[in-house]
Amino acid sequence: MRNYLSFLVVLFIITSSCKAQVEVNTFAESITSENLKNLLYTYSSDAFEGRETGQAGQKKAVEFIKEFYVENDIPSALESNYFQEVPLQIVKTPEVNFTVNNTTYTYFDDYISYSSAPTVSLNESELIFVGYGIDDNKYNDYQSVDVKDKIVLIKGGEPKDNTGKYIISGTKEISKWSNGRQAISSKKEAALTNGAKAVLFIDQELFNRYSPYYKRQYRKGDSNRLSLLNLDKEIHFFLLSKKMGEAILPKSDIDNPYSTIAAQIHIDYKSITVPMSSENVVAYIEGSEKPNEFLIVSAHLDHIGISSEGEVYNGADDNGSGSVAVLEIAKAFKKASDIGYKPKRSIVFLHVTGEEKGMLGSNYYTDQNPVFPLNQTIANLNIDMIGRIDPKRKSTNRNYIYLIGSDKLSTDLHNLSEDVNKKYMNIELDYKFNDENDPNRFYYRSDHYNFAKNNIPVIFYFNGTHDDYHAISDTPDNIEYDLLEKRTRLVFLTAWEIANREKTITVDKDQ
């Protein structure tokens, strides 16, 4: 009798498991290339005017996304509607008078402002040289120096050990502290965190890159550079030419940081900005057993607008493909919920604005106004370009997807992702761009990074760039819809497993 009862228990478990597997396959199969194609042909049509942040086409895009959720009875995550207002500003070239020891320097030729900080007048008789301006657990320039309410001077690059390897990466490859825009944002944030009131950054290479671009924009009628409207989290940050830097810090002192430098610094800075607003769209399905644990499935909704000649950048792959994928994933979860398979954990469907302007919408969500607490957010699955084939792969297996970041914070998430793919999809998971030393730095270039920097495990799904990237030829007729279907199903199935497993995703690595 006991053996018979044991047999029935085992049979029940096996039967329940098989039923659950059959059901999840059914929900995944509701995501079809036909549905994705119909959505994408509308979303990336000329009517949406390239979906540039804050412009009319982007407003049409958010309305389209909202209407999809309304029609499919998928609730908003917000009290009023589906829109999370993102306050932005257009940052124009400031008016600056900058003198050092009574010598006046010239904007564009000697320095540029790389911030959207408010109008101010600074008069100082000294500044603090803090070396590379790095604040990292492997190397910290601020550890033994007080820079609160001081102007700090920093130099480009990062330190090496006596074997020639970079201390932070542990290899001969640079880290984010030396990599272009990431270097600027990281060093700016480090100075702000440590209480500095202004930064002078000497880096001829970066100055040569950005100053001519800013100058061209100004000559064309000023730039359309956007930033978040949050002056409490801004700092005056000036990128200096080598010539101007050496006038403040002689060559002989460049290797002697943590010193006070006597210099008469006078800066009159008049900020010129124009307010603008944009929107994230946030829908969700509440969990049945663990509603206060949140999985975020995200994609950026914007693109780069219309060319000066009036041609529309449709952005079918970037990121129409990710936008419609999130919609279909949400609909599949709603279908499951309606027949009794509600996810155990809550799932948030987040469409963010301003990715093309510097990941502004996701930065606003994570760093200023998260709809759901970050300490209860267990993972982020971010989709950015999954509808095409990397030309470098055309002669090999086309059934692939690049995964980035899956193992950066959580071995658990990485293993789950691998297991789900093997069980259901058998897509080639290519980690080519997951290397920390990838010169493309894709890990830092999409919205998942704003979650990762807040210690939330992420996976970034990506097909790689191609000749139509940021070109008017990125149109829906060039999408590989069978691959878009498979990749979208993979994200859905991964989300399903994260949402329904007994164990919460664990973080076991440092960012």
The whole-number pLDDT of residue 255 equals 85
Does the pLDDT at position 3 exceed 80? no
Same domain, 248 and 286: no
Q: Do 193 and 314 have their domain in common?
A: no
Give me the long-range contacts of 5-10 (CB less than 8 A, separation at least 24). none
| Domain closes at, from 251, 271, 291 | 271
- 286 and 264 in a common domain: no
Better-predicted residue by pLDDT, 272 or 219:
272
Tell me if 3 is assigned to some domain.
no
Residue 326 structural domain: 27-87+278-500
Q: Does the N-terminal peptide bond of residue 72 adopt cis geometry, omega within 30 degrees of 0?
A: no
Residue with the bigger pLDDT between 466 and 4: it is 466
Dihedral sign from CA coordinates of 454, 459, 464, 468: negative
Q: What is the pLDDT of residues 336-386, one digit of tens each?
A: 999 999 999 999 999 999 999 999 999 999 999 999 999 999 999 999 999
Strand, coil or helix: 92: coil
End-to-end CA distance of the chain: give it in Å, rounded.
Answer: 55
How many folded domains does the chain comprise?
Answer: 2
DSSP state, 119? P
Is residue 11 scored above 50 in pLDDT? no
Asked if 70 and 110 sit in the same domain, the reply is: no
In 10 A of CB 397, how many CB atoms?
Answer: 9
Read off the pTM: 0.89
Q: Is the pLDDT of residue 7 over 70?
A: no
Are 283 and 405 in a shared domain? yes
In Å, how far are 297, 401, 415, 485 from 425, measured between CA atoms? 19, 11, 15, 11
Q: Per-residue DSSP letters for 332-368?
A: HHHHHHHTT---SEEEEEEEES-GGGTSHHHHHHHHT
**Angle at the Cα of 244 (from 243 to 249), degrees rounded to 5?**
95
Domain termination site, one of 250, 271, 292 = 271
Q: Does a structural domain hold residue 2?
A: no
Amino acid at 28: A
Question: What does 218-248 look like in DSSP terms, one character per residue?
Answer: HHTT----EEES-GGG--EEEEE-HHHHHHH
Say if 510 falls within a structural domain. Answer: no
Q: How confident is the model at residue 254 (pLDDT cuts 50, 70, 90)?
A: confident
On whether both 230 and 341 belong to a single domain, the answer is no
- Decide if 497 contacts 414 (C-beta within 8 A): no
Q: Is residue 506 part of a domain?
A: no
* pLDDT of residue 457 exceeding 90: yes
- pLDDT 10s digits, 290-336: 999 999 999 999 999 999 899 999 999 999 999 999 999 999 999 99
Does some domain include residue 196?
A: yes
Bridge partners of residue 128, in order along the sequence: 152, 260
Q: Report the pLDDT value the prediction gives residue 12, as an integer from 0 to 100.
A: 42
**CATH number where 204 lies:** 3.50.30.30
Give the end of a domain, one of 271, 286, 319. Answer: 271
Residue 196: C-alpha distances to residues 53, 141, 291, 443 (Å): 31, 13, 41, 28
pLDDT value of residue 13? 42
- 83 has which bridge partners? 281
Q: Does residue 7 lie within any of the structural domains? A: no
Please check whether residues 178 and 314 belong to one and the same domain: no
Whether residue 324 is found in the same domain as residue 454: yes
- Is residue 467 domain-shared with residue 422, that is, in the same domain? yes
Model pLDDT for residues 400-432, shown as the tens digit of each residue = 999 999 999 999 999 999 999 999 999 999 999
pLDDT for res 15: 41
**Residues 293, 415 within the same domain:** yes
Residue 13 domain flag: no
What's the CATH number where 428 sits? 3.40.630.10
Token pair 């074997």 is at which residue? 163
Specify the DSSP element, H or E, that contains 229.
Answer: none
Q: List, for residues 170-223, the tens digit of each pLDDT value.
A: 988 888 899 888 899 899 999 999 999 999 999 999 999 999 989 988 887 766
Reported as a single tens digit per residue, the pLDDT across 13-54 is: 444 444 556 689 999 999 999 999 999 999 999 999 999 999
The torsion angles phi and psi of 383, rounded to 5 degrees, stand at -115, 120
For 175, which DSSP code? -
Residue 4 resides in a domain: no
Do 255 and 316 belong together in one domain? no
248 and 126 in a common domain: yes
